[in-house]
Amino acid sequence: MDVIARRADLGNATLYRHFPTRELLVAAVYRPDIEDLASSALALAARHAPRDALELWVREHFIPVQEQHGFAVVLKDALARAPEVFSVSKKRLTDAAGGLVRAAQHAGVVRQDISPRDILRMAHGIAVASENAPQARERMLTVMFDGLRPAPDRACSLCAMGAASPAASGTRQQPGPSSVGPKPGPMIDGR
């Protein structure tokens, strides 16, 4: 906190008077970001189809906040130390995501077994894992959103080849010459 006070050109006493703990300072610093995320969720929901609103919110609003230098690490540490300090912000963020997720589920474009916290956790994980790798981030987000589609919309490679889905038939196909790869050709020289 002393470093923050120096950088902000404040006396330590002034900083500690307003923010007696590091967690209170972190909460105050990131509160506007949380409010912006919640406001943007509402605005996107009003202007876009439910799935588009959810995807735009994650890609263009949630991920960039997660990628702010040190945000994820600082916030995770602060949440672990003093979760009660962040309860209002956490609820606000979960409610914002919840509105988008429920609208997409109601429209039938997102799986029913997904919770708003699932979305936040996956997107947070992608942001952290792909720091400094925007191409990887975009691929991972695409995979995430593809996986959020309800079952009938998800591609099934076996179905595309005309076979029944293993899940639909209740059987699990084991890899082997009859199920994977090209059929063996004629033997040469008896081998």
Give the CATH number, domain containing residue 29. Answer: 1.10.357.10
- How confident is the model over 117-133, as a mean pLDDT? 90
Looking at residue 51, what is its pLDDT? Answer: 97
Whether the CB-CB separation of 177 and 171 falls below 8 Å is answered with no
Residue position matching structure tokens 């990887």: 136
Tokens 């699932």 belong to 118
Within a domain: 140? yes
Inside any domain, residue 188: no
User: Does any domain span residue 133?
Assistant: yes
Across all residues in the chain, what is the average pLDDT?
77
Distance between CA atoms of 106 and 101, rounded to whole angstroms? 9
Percent of the chain scoring above 70 in pLDDT: 66
Assess if residue 162 is contained within a domain.
no
Residue at 10 is within a domain: no
| pTM assigned to the model | 0.69
Number of compact structural domains in the chain:
1
Cα–Cα distance between 130 and 163 in angstroms, integer? Answer: 36
Q: Which residue has the higher pLDDT, 72 or 66?
A: 66
Tell me the range of 19-33, 70-84, 160-174 where mean pLDDT is highest: 19-33
Print the domain residue range for 77. 22-154
- Kindly give the interhelix angle for 87-106 and 116-129, rounded to the nearest 10 degrees: 110
The answer to whether residue 125 scores a pLDDT higher than 80 is yes
Q: Is residue 175 part of a domain?
A: no
190, part of any domain: no
